[in-house]
Amino acid sequence: MHSKPLSKIDLGFLPTPVSRLSNLGSVLGGPEIYIKRDDLTGLAFGGNKTRKLEFLLQDALTRGCDSIITAGAAQSNHCRQTAAAAARLQMECHLVLGGEAPEVASGNLLLDNLLGSQIHWAGDHRKGEDIPRVVEQLQASGKNPYVVPYGGSNELGAYAFVHALEELERQLDMRQFSHLIFASSSGGTQAGLMLGKALTGGQYRLLGIGIDKGETGDIPFDRFIVELANSTSDLVNASARFTQQDLILDMRYVGDGYGVVGELETEAISLLARHEGILLDPVYTGRAMGGLIDMIRRGELGAADRVLFWHTGGTPSLFAYADSFQTCENP
Ligand SMILES: *Cc1c(COP(=O)(O)O)cnc(C)c1O
């Protein structure tokens, strides 16, 4: 199947490495597990948003914009990487963050400040509801702002994961794999991987672990992802078409909701840290790996399977969640 490639700027160190988690595999029993290290994209501590921003900020440059606006939670990895990308391009960066200014900025918020972004606190609006207000302010002051959507999840952001799967196929023969597992939140990663899998003829199960209860916007989250996969396919003139049946989004692990860290996450984080020397993050990859481990324990993944886990980044927020680990002493 063919598609029209889109142009991008270089922001990350790609390809990111792939390795086998042999220690974790022997501790857990069950499938062989490999990891794709998008925590190592390199842009101000890296993460999956670096890939999306390569395409999104190319578009901003093409349109002659001089400032960038995006939105997220106070500990948003997306906002931190956007701030770093804007600094690299010497563009003004405005972040519309949920909540109120804390007394001490830590984790991603500390980095947002260091990277020179301007922060607009938005109370309980953490998904960009206040972006239009900031756009108006900037336009009134003579700026030409570019809006990067919440999570970078539009067609350009999703396309970055078509590109990422092509990168992965050059590193590993995905025909040897039964599952590709990753954290899914604003949907761009999953939509792009769905399209990439179709374009590369993948046969594995593409399994998104839901991170957020998905109370976003006007349409249900699962429909949003399928529609985004279709509109991304249209954008690159591909003929791939998706329906609800093509989407696997496992919502069993959302627990008490976005960013609420429990034993599922802390156990997964400490297992990876102690057995592989790899750090996961508390909000996304800790939850997704917690889900993967649970599926092994339930026998849903077994010795006949081979799993690729996509590490999507997020590690700077570990420092903002230090309190969640006080109860996680040596077992
Ligand atoms: C944003 C993010 C995700 C989810 O990606 P989406 O494209 O928003 O679904 C996963 N992991 C980390 C660390 C993230 O920052």
Pairing of strands 92-97, 118-121: parallel
**Ligand 1 center to residue 184 CA distance, Å?**
6
Which DSSP letter does residue 152 get? G
Band of residue 216 on the pLDDT scale cut at 50, 70, 90 = low
CB 210 within 8 A of CB 186: no
Tokens of 326: 């006080």
CB 35 within 8 A of CB 179: no
| Active-site choice (3, 19, 22, 76) | 76
Q: How high is the pLDDT of residue 1?
A: 63
What's the CATH number for 18-46+153-325?
3.40.50.1100
Q: How high is the pLDDT of residue 328?
A: 47
More confident residue, 126 or 260: 260
Amino acid at 114: L
The span from the CA of 191 to the CA of 178, in Å, is: 19
CB 42 within 8 A of CB 277: no
Residue 76 CA: nearest ligand 1 atom is 15
Which CATH number among 3.40.50.2300, 3.40.630.30, 3.40.50.280, 3.40.50.1100 corresponds to the domain 49-152? Answer: 3.40.50.1100
2: pLDDT strictly greater than 80: no
**Ligand 1 center to residue 124 CA distance, Å?**
20
Domain boundaries, the chain: 18-46+153-325, 49-152
- Residue 277's nearest CA partner among 24, 33, 42 is 24
Q: Indicate if ligand 1 lies below 6 Å from the C-beta of 77.
A: yes
User: Fold match between 18-46+153-325 and 49-152?
Assistant: yes
Average of pLDDT values for 164-169? 98
Residue 157 CA: nearest ligand 1 atom is 7
Q: How high is the pLDDT of residue 3?
A: 77
Residue matched to tokens 């984790």: 107
Average per-residue pLDDT in the chain? 95
**Ligand 1 center to residue 140 CA distance, Å?**
33
Q: Indicate if ligand 1 lies below 6 Å from the C-beta of 281.
A: yes
| 76 is known as an active-site residue | yes
Q: Indicate if ligand 1 lies below 6 Å from the C-beta of 47.
A: yes
Average of pLDDT values for 285-304? 98
Backbone torsions φ then ψ of 313, nearest 5 degrees: 105, -150
